Amino acid sequence: MKIKRIAAMLAACLPLSAQAANWVDVIATEPANQAKIKPFGFIQPVYTYYDAEPISGFLGPDAATTNGKYQIQNLVQPTFEETEQFQLLRAQFGLRGRLTDKISYFLLTDVGHNLTTVQHPVMVTDASMTFSFIPGAKIRAGLFKLPTGEEALVANPISFSYVYYSLATSQLVQETFFRDVANPGAKPCAGIPGSTAGFLDCGRAVSGNNAFRDWGIQVFDSFTKNNWELGYAAMISNGNEIENIGDNNSSKDLTGRLQLSYIFKGKGPLREDANVFIWRQSGERSWGTTEHDRIREGAGFRVTKGPVRASGEYIRADGMIAGGPNPPVQQPGGNLEPPYSLNVAPQGKADGWYLEAGWRLHPDWEIEARYDVFDRFHNDPATNRVFKTWTLGGQYFINKTTRVTLNYEWREQEIPSLAAIGNATAQSNAMTIANNLGDRASVQLTWNF
């Protein structure tokens, strides 16, 4: 079987070591010796393979349009058409620099094939300026990363050690924007028998995801004493699609992050340290004629010393959580590129966490492992699903700018309250989908300049 060959490759190729940093400072400010214009960027071609079979044994009126198809969780994003695919996942190019000793800028575009660029072949993902006139309160304005979690902030081309983010980060921190649909009973928005009345509503995805970014203004800085550093960031932003500079309602998002670090040695993105952090994001999202709260918050740690690192994070979500189409397959004549319809829980709750560690066992090789849990809709037993994933990874560093990352993910879906689902057919279908979730293997080349 092809997946066994890929697993054997992983065992034979246990391979940029992920460093620690104050990522808000690193991304938002330029070194003192930075040129006025510095081109930079990276590309990440990726091959992804799902060890999965088509759905079989699905019952009821949707059986004919579901059996024989692959569920979307076993299809390669962003178009969800194939179980294996080679794609240029990210191709980001930009300019950065210091205009004066107090003013810097950061511009970045993405022309890769991913959930951010799914509607537009070219997306501007960063367009910001940082002003360092006020001691203790630097100001950044424009489009840039929100000060949220570690996986969201980490500089991907040099310091993220996996091909894909944990489910808790990708599903809860990264945001796709939805609008209410007038016909909540229309496919693929069928509810789940036994679910709380009105818990799931029919929504339409109207954009790609926001790549952890938004338009806004941020105040931030860090303070050091001996080896200790305290960093903070507070941002007010639109809470809207990043391709639109304006807002779509009268409310704004408020996001804040606080980080305490003990620095062992080094500086910038290559330093070794131990840190703990907390963050929170709150705002409102328009849903038909109403507004619903959207809250995300988390806490975590990261330790990097010598060849070893460890990190972890807990993330909690309240409001505006997507549940996917039901049944979770491509609909006849349709696709899963925005705009498409799916179940959304405007008042849903979810949480998740991950723990991971890595070891640079040789200057050219690194191995890592991650365990992550995503508990979706735990405030509604009939729709509650828990996803658990073990990831084994390795990296080979060809040189300072090029590396290969290989991952294998063992994926599992659980239904904590099967009896809460309203009838035997729906229970059987839920188990059919859960048991059909396949493992995923991926290999990625990263080249940055």
Run of H or E including 446: strand 439-448
Residue found by looking up tokens 């246990």 in the block: 14
C-alpha–C-alpha distance, residues 402 and 41, integer Å: 12
Residue 331 has a pLDDT of 72
Residue 237 has a pLDDT of 98
Weakest mean pLDDT among 23-37, 52-66, 177-191, 369-383? 177-191
Residue 19 has a pLDDT of 54
Q: Is the pLDDT of residue 246 over 90?
A: yes
Q: Report the pLDDT averaged over residues 369-376.
A: 98
Take residue 246 and report the two structure tokens written for it: 């304006």
Q: Report the pLDDT averaged over residues 21-43.
A: 92
Q: Is the pLDDT of residue 6 over 60?
A: no
Centre a 10 Å sphere on the Cβ of residue 133 and count the other Cβ atoms it contains. Answer: 9
Interior CA angle at 164 toward 446 and 221, to 5°?
Answer: 80
Of the pLDDT bands very low, low, confident and very high (cuts 50, 70, 90), residue 182 is: confident
C-alpha–C-alpha distance, residues 80 and 318, integer Å: 27
For residue range 45-92, list pLDDT tens digits in order: 999 999 999 999 999 999 999 999 999 999 999 989 999 999 999 999
C-alpha–C-alpha distance, residues 245 and 65, integer Å: 40
Amino acid identity, position 147: P
Q: Is the pLDDT of residue 120 over 80?
A: yes
Run of H or E including 168: helix 167-168
Residue found by looking up tokens 């840190």 in the block: 275
Which positions ≥6 away from 154 have C-beta within 8 Å? 18, 23, 160
Please, which residues bridge with residue 393 across strands? 368, 407
Q: Report the pLDDT averaged over residues 320-346.
A: 83
Centre a 10 Å sphere on the Cβ of residue 24 and count the other Cβ atoms it contains. Answer: 26
Q: Quote the distance between the C-alpha of residue 346 and its chain's center.
A: 20
Q: Report the pLDDT averaged over residues 85-103.
A: 97
May I ask the CATH architecture of the domain 2-448?
Beta Barrel (2.40)
Radius of gyration (Cα) for the chain, nearest Å?
Answer: 22
- Closest by CA to 441, choosing from 394, 376, 388, is 394
Residue 5 has a pLDDT of 45
Weakest mean pLDDT among 231-240, 264-273, 363-372? 264-273
For residue range 203-241, list pLDDT tens digits in order: 888 889 999 999 999 999 999 999 999 999 999 999 999
C-alpha–C-alpha distance, residues 409 and 443, integer Å: 12
Q: Report the pLDDT averaged over residues 28-57.
A: 96
C-alpha–C-alpha distance, residues 204 and 341, integer Å: 4
Of the pLDDT bands very low, low, confident and very high (cuts 50, 70, 90), residue 333 is: low
Q: Is the pLDDT of residue 133 over 60?
A: yes
Q: Is the pLDDT of residue 184 over 90?
A: no
Residue 234 has a pLDDT of 98
Helix (H, G, I), strand (E, B) or coil at 418: helix
Q: Is the pLDDT of residue 95 over 50?
A: yes
